[in-house]
Structure 1
Amino acid sequence: MSGFKQVALATALVLFGSHAVHAQSIVKVDGSSTVFPITEAVAEDIQKARKGSVKVTVGISGTGGGFKKFCRGEIDVSGASRPILKKEMEACASAGIRYYELPVAFDALTVIVNPKNTFVKQLTVEQLKKMWEPDAQGKVTSWKQIDSSFPDVPLKLFGAGSDSGTFDYFTEAVVGKAKASRGDFTASEDDNVLVQGVSRDQNAIGYFGYAYYAENQGKLKAVPIVNKEGKAVSPGPDSVISGAYNPLSRPIFIYVSEKSLEKPEVRDFVAYYMKNASDLATEVKYVPLPPKAYETAMENVNKKKVGTVFGGEAEVGVTIESLLSREAKL
């Protein structure tokens, strides 16, 4: 699989000759940059497997941006790094858009600093809140304000944009309220912008999905986060599976329009996604779900079980086990 370093430019994955364009069926995907690496891999693979008979376009307008397009009927599939929210559910309902919610993997939302930062060994949720809460704007500007043992150097913040599900999840988990954040930081829905920002500034800190850290380990350093048990835990597959990496572990999803699923190319794409999500999630460094999860997802599709197992509210602390239990009861 190719890397995803230029996702801001590569919104269309074209793996076929121009002579085949008119014969192709098109699947339109947009949404989360966190989910993008898996969807990119699925798109590449299915286009090769179908020998140019299908084209998959993949955008990265963020979870919120993707849902806006999805609920207007502009795309077939929306990637999401958090469950659909009540206002988005209402927008879809108003437009007559019914949908299937399909979990694809678990992510370790990763806090990163520049490799030249030698003083940050770990951080608590309370310290992260001190950095990011709305009251910190214009006031908390030095690392020394976070911990008296830290040097008095500028605190440079890089984070997800407001249309990002990662922004929603991080603020809920750290500040205690989704979208509650200081505004004086470098924000982007494109995680590669954040990667570049932190890698170029010795005093920087940021956060994004684990796959982007794994892809760029040579120029970033992941920060262990002190969990609710009081233990500093690094992000990674083992700590996500065990539940030790809390509260920053989270499920990620694709949402599929019921109407779009009537199109053979979309149904084929979704079936291919669920069949190969485990291997491809592992390939891009996310944590795959147990096989039963993907089977249940397709059973829900085949039985026309539309809707979400979440209540339309931001939710922190969902484990793999609880997710599987919910999906089975849809």
Structure 2
Amino acid sequence: MSRDTTASLPTGLGRREFLAAASVGLSGGLAGCTGVFAAEGKQVNIAGSSTVFPVTEAVASAFSEENPTVNLSLSKTGTGGGFGNFFCAGRTDINNASRSIADAEVEQCGDNDITPIELQVATDALTVVVNPDADWVNCLTVEQLQQIWSADGVDRWSDLNEEWPDQEFELYGAATTSGTFDYFNEAILGEELNHRNDYYATERDRTIVQGVRGDEAAMGYFGFAYYSENPDTIKAVSIDNGNGCVEPSIETAKSGEYKPLSRPLFIYVAKESLAKPAVRDFVRFYMKRAATDLVSDVGYVPITEEQRDENLEKLDAKIEEVTG
């Protein structure tokens, strides 16, 4: 399992620089699950998707400014890693997820008396990126992406187009524990093709940024937020799903034009954890902020006010079941 914990807020992230100045006490790992905060019910433990991480991080920063006595522990483990190793094992209260929970994960949670509650928090435009010097490519068809990313697929740019450079791909993508991997696999490769395994697989999205900007022949994919942080050092590729090239953006994801790589993002909260006031307060706060510019500032599409109200209604009903 690849893991990237954050001991302090990031700096130099463009639109998100406000996070670095927030003076927020966010814990970077899951080691703080015990101790005074947990004993007082003021510990909220969160793991899961690196794609959803920036949204949760921004919400957590805002929450901690208003609730400095609550300790929030955030870790990037991948959606599947978060479900399997932490959330469904009863070690975390919330799992960030870039896909819906799988049946096997629901079963694992049930075996441990964990009841997952799904709440959509944003919409993402999963983004394929290349090196800025790759001036021969601005748009790829879904079929071309299949050729690149499928097992036994093509190995060189010239295999796609004889006018393109005779250079071997340097590929970076999500680890198999990632919801981004699962979604890309389903949306691009479908049921009949398998994702190639000879690529650099990581949960550290900024590693993908570094790899792509360091090699002219490189390509990677990840959530739009990580592209929006680095638009001058990597280049986003438009996708042609049969109706012409469409750029990944907040606008095209919101309108539904960006297909097939526009996807919902979620958090899952354990119903049992709603017995803790800190978890209840944080999730309520999250739902309200998920419908604001805080989400678009990170690089995703906020949920609608109607979705927010539905989330809050679902949440309040589950809280009532837990607290009586």
TM superposition score category, shorter chain reference: 0.7 to 0.9
Identify the residue that residue 245 of structure 1 maps to in structure 2: 258
Corresponding residue SS for 1:79: strand
Identify the residue that residue 54 of structure 1 maps to in structure 2: 70
Distance in 1 between residues matched to 2:55 and 2:64, nearest whole Å: 14
Identify the residue that residue 66 of structure 1 maps to in structure 2: 82
Distance in 2 between residues matched to 1:72 and 1:168, nearest whole Å: 21
Distance in 2 between residues matched to 1:178 and 1:71, nearest whole Å: 30
Distance in 2 between residues matched to 1:123 and 1:286, nearest whole Å: 22
Q: Match for 1:56: what amino acid? A: L
Distance in 1 between residues matched to 2:281 and 2:140, nearest whole Å: 44
Distance in 2 between residues matched to 1:248 and 1:105, nearest whole Å: 14
User: Is the CA contact 2:8–2:26 (under 8 Å) kept in the aligned structure 1?
Assistant: no
Identify the residue that residue 156 of structure 1 maps to in structure 2: 170
RMSD, aligned α-carbons: 2.2
Q: Match for 1:86: what amino acid? A: D
C-alpha offsets along residues 46-93 of structure 1, whole Å, 9 cap, x if unaligned?
A: 11111x210111100000011111100000000000100111111111
User: Is the CA contact 1:11–1:59 (under 8 Å) kept in the aligned structure 2?
Assistant: no
Which consecutive aligned stretches of 4+ in structure 1 deviate over 3 angstroms post-superposition? 11-14, 21-24
Q: Match for 1:221: what amino acid? A: K
Distance in 2 between residues matched to 1:38 and 1:178, nearest whole Å: 33
C-alpha offsets along residues 184-239 of structure 1, whole Å, 9 cap, x if unaligned?
A: 001101111111110111110000000000001110100000024x2100001111
User: Is the CA contact 1:71–1:92 (under 8 Å) kept in the aligned structure 2?
Assistant: yes
Name stretches of at least 5 consecutive residues in structure 2 with no aligned partner: 10-22, 28-34
C-alpha offsets along residues 237-269 of structure 1, whole Å, 9 cap, x if unaligned?
A: 111122110000000000000010110000000
Corresponding residue SS for 2:58: helix
Residue in structure 1 matching 2:313, options 275, 293, 299 = 299
Q: Match for 2:95: what amino acid? A: S
Q: Write out aligned runs for 1:311-322 (5 A).
A: none
Identify the residue that residue 281 of structure 2 maps to in structure 1: 268
Identify the residue that residue 218 of structure 2 maps to in structure 1: 204
Corresponding residue SS for 1:73: coil
Identify the residue that residue 15 of structure 1 maps to in structure 2: 24
Greater shift in the superposed pair: 248-257 or 194-203: 194-203
Q: Match for 1:99: what amino acid? A: P
Distance in 2 between residues matched to 1:31 and 1:17, nearest whole Å: 16
Residue in structure 2 matching 1:236, options 249, 264, 281 = 249
C-alpha distance 246-271 of structure 1, shift in aligned 2 (>3 A):
same
User: Is the CA contact 2:106–2:116 (under 8 Å) kept in the aligned structure 1?
Assistant: no
Corresponding residue SS for 1:134: coil
Name stretches of at least 5 consecutive residues in structure 1 with no aligned partner: 1-6, 307-330
Identify the residue that residue 171 of structure 1 maps to in structure 2: 185
Q: Match for 1:135: what amino acid? A: D
Q: Match for 2:73: what amino acid? A: T
Q: With the length of structure 1 as denominator, give the TM-score of the two structures.
A: 0.84
Distance in 1 between residues matched to 2:256 and 2:159, nearest whole Å: 30
Q: With the length of structure 2 as denominator, give the TM-score of the two structures.
A: 0.86
User: Is the CA contact 1:169–1:178 (under 8 Å) kept in the aligned structure 2?
Assistant: no
Corresponding residue SS for 1:123: strand
C-alpha distance 200-271 of structure 1, shift in aligned 2 (>3 A):
same
Q: Shift of residue 17 of structure 1?
A: 11
